[in-house]
Amino acid sequence: MIPRMPDMNLTTNPLRLLVIEDDPLLADALCAGLGGPLAEVTHAATVERARVLFLGGRFDLVILDIGLPDGSGLQLLRQWRAQGEAVPVLILTARDALDDRVRGLDLGADDYLLKPFALKELAARVRALVRRARGLSGGLLEVGPLVLDVAGKQAWLDGVLLTLSAREWALLRALTERAGRVVDKDQLIRVLCDWDEALTPNAIEVYISRLRAKLRSERLSIRTLRGLGYLLHHDE
């Protein structure tokens, strides 16, 4: 039997968003577009102001620009993660270099979006990240037809219990926790680093292939992005 999912109805749990962006026009657009009766948006234009606001209140999600007038947004991200802060962070950046995106993810960002972007896409990513964070806090993860019981190390697809090896479970959990964003092979190898046997990128491909065979659903797929990694995608 699938465990009861925690309440992730965002309409009954208004969001508190912190937008850290120094461009006044973009900041106004974000606050207006994301704010409303279901979300309270707080804005900071500098690293220092963001630190003050973050210390003064609890936020469900942070939207973070990298280039700020008094420093880098990545400095904030590094500091928060070092302090054990698990708040979801979505990076907004005009920097399209792969190294910048990888650095942000390695420092603990949950997602990133390149400028310019569509507000509709940003809002969808915000909802997905908050749902995922609330699911993690409840011990359960849900991505479309897929449900994972983290404590029990069990997974269901369309209500059917999946038979998974220990490594398949670990990889599926890693992909599910990061659903909608790319996970590279090195990250997946680190997920399995507790086993004595050394793993190669080719071995990861084998386990991903086995997972694909078990995740047979029209609404769920593991996509390969050549040169980047893998992405668990849900067609809503």
Residue 179 predicted with pLDDT over 90: no
The pair of structure tokens assigned to 203 is 């071995």
What total number of domains does the chain contain?
2
Residues of the chain by 3-state class (helix, strand, coil), percent to 5: 40, 25, 35
Same domain, 207 and 96: no
Query: Of the candidates 93, 119, 136, which is a domain's last residue?
Result: 136
Mean pLDDT over 65-89 rounds to: 89
Q: Which long-range contacts (CB under 8 A, 24 or more apart) does 227-231 make?
A: 228/98, 228/182, 228/184, 229/182, 229/183, 229/184, 229/185, 229/187, 229/188, 230/175, 230/182, 230/183, 230/184, 230/185, 230/188, 231/175, 231/180, 231/181, 231/182, 231/183
Mean pLDDT over 138-167 rounds to: 85
The pLDDT value given to residue 5: 38
The pLDDT value given to residue 95: 65
Same domain, 171 and 85: no
The pair of structure tokens assigned to 110 is 């949950």
Mean pLDDT over 156-174 rounds to: 90
23 Cβ contact list (under 8 Å, min separation 6): 65
pTM over 0.95: no
Q: Tens of pLDDT along 85-117? A: 888 999 988 766 667 777 788 888 888 888 888
Lowest mean pLDDT among 25-29, 130-134, 179-183: 130-134
The pLDDT value given to residue 13: 55
Same domain, 58 and 92: yes
In a domain, 76, yes or no: yes
Same domain, 182 and 131: no
In a domain, 75, yes or no: yes
CATH number at residue 224: 1.10.10.10
In a domain, 9, yes or no: no
Mean pLDDT of the chain: 83
Query: Of the candidates 114, 136, 158, which is a domain's last residue?
Result: 136
Contact 6, 49 (CB under 8 A): no
Same domain, 44 and 151: no
Query: Of the candidates 86, 112, 136, which is a domain's last residue?
Result: 136
Residue 183 predicted with pLDDT over 80: yes
Spatial separation of the C-alpha atoms in residues 67 and 74, rounded to whole Å: 9
In a domain, 6, yes or no: no
Same domain, 22 and 65: yes
Mean pLDDT is highest, among 66-75, 143-152, 172-181, 197-206, for: 66-75
Same domain, 195 and 115: no
Comparing 127 with 221, which gets the higher pLDDT? 221
Q: Tens of pLDDT along 41-69? A: 999 999 999 999 998 878 989 999 988 99
CATH number at residue 114: 3.40.50.2300
The pLDDT value given to residue 172: 93
Residues facing residue 233 across a β-bridge:
221
Residue 165 predicted with pLDDT over 70: yes
Q: 6 falls in which pLDDT band (50, 70, 90)?
A: very low
The pair of structure tokens assigned to 68 is 């700020």
72 Cβ contact list (under 8 Å, min separation 6): 47, 66
Same domain, 22 and 89: yes
Range of the domain at 30: 15-136
Same domain, 165 and 222: yes
Same domain, 125 and 24: yes
The pLDDT value given to residue 139: 65
